[in-house]
Structure 1
Amino acid sequence: MAVSLTVKPVAYDTYSVSGKTLPDIAKSIKSKGPKDPNDNKKVTFLTTTELECLTAKGKYVADGKAKIDNKTGWFEVTTKVSTLKLILHTTVRCPKRSVSGLSPRALIEWYRFYACCLAHEGEHLIKAKKECEKIAKELDKLKGTGLAETEAEALKLAQEDLMRVINIHIFDDRNRLNEVHRKFDHSSHHGEKKGALLDTSVG
């Protein structure tokens, strides 16, 4: 496929939490944790993704031979993607794993909760990658057209048209990844169904 996807390593943006008990830790998270833009609620972990499309650095070639337009006698050229790079950037806002002052049992619960949250955020990335792969296939099918007196000028116009079409597609899909995250968090209750819920009763 002419369109390639690169998944960059996850960038972790951490914040400190403190407390001698798990209820204290939960309170600290509520104070310092990120806010989910989809439901406006504070969460412990938050994954955000951005798909970068290097349209200007892509290569676009003629798709078949040039045609002669019947009305004008000008050259009509259709272009397709030869090479185009997409880059998926992922940031996870999360608390630092290291906390001090908890009892051994509370610390075990904290580590368990933290691991479940990390697993949940990992699923966010997997789903985002799959969606980006779909977008790549869609971009791969796009075409551009150009009409001009010379074949070279028609090709140039068709290449510019294809770049415009690609940019419009990316712009129209700008909220697509966020929608993937919203649906996943809604169905999983932010990972709580798989253990991403801190049991503050553990002392």
Structure 2
Amino acid sequence: MNFIATEIPEVVIVEPRLFRDERGYFFESFSKQTFDAGIRSVQFVQDNESASRYGVLRGLHFQKPPHAQSKLVRVVRGRVVDYAVDIRFGSPTFGRYVAVELSDQNFRQLFIPRGFAHGFVVLSDEVVFQYKCDNYYAPQSEGAIAWNDPDLNIDWRIPSEDIILSAKDQANRSWKELTADEDFCRLFPYNQDLYK
């Protein structure tokens, strides 16, 4: 596997080695030994899969400690732009985001560590999206940021009138509201190990 740091170095693109022949292709989508050596030791405990159509936007989600999650995400079919927003208070990249296109053609994966909000938007007619999580889903610990927040100013790469949101994601809080909340600012301190 090839590990590529993004403009926020903790968010990492993972490119598998692809083996093609007349039968098709083969690649190793995950190896704990390789992943731990290339990025960090993470104990993934849950795999999820979603299917969505063009324009569906899922995000920007995070789970609060002690249920904070890292994610390793990939596309099985179709194409998305995947986003990670730095929500580590005190970080030099606090409030900035990384955007990476993931598809069934480029085979890329994205590692989103704890301390980041995550979301994606579907560019293809349909998509099958998979992600590994290092903590179990805990609905009582859910947090989210509004997709169209003017302070984050995220380029979703499709017209806003094409965006399809869940009712829950339509009610997500703004970045300004969140960062005015002292409890939010204490969730993911930049200089603290978020894996202890």
TM range (shorter): under 0.3
Q: TM-score, normalised by structure 1?
A: 0.26
- Higher helix residue share: 1
- Higher strand residue share: 2
Q: Which structure has the bigger radius of gyration?
A: 1
Q: TM-score, normalised by structure 2?
A: 0.27
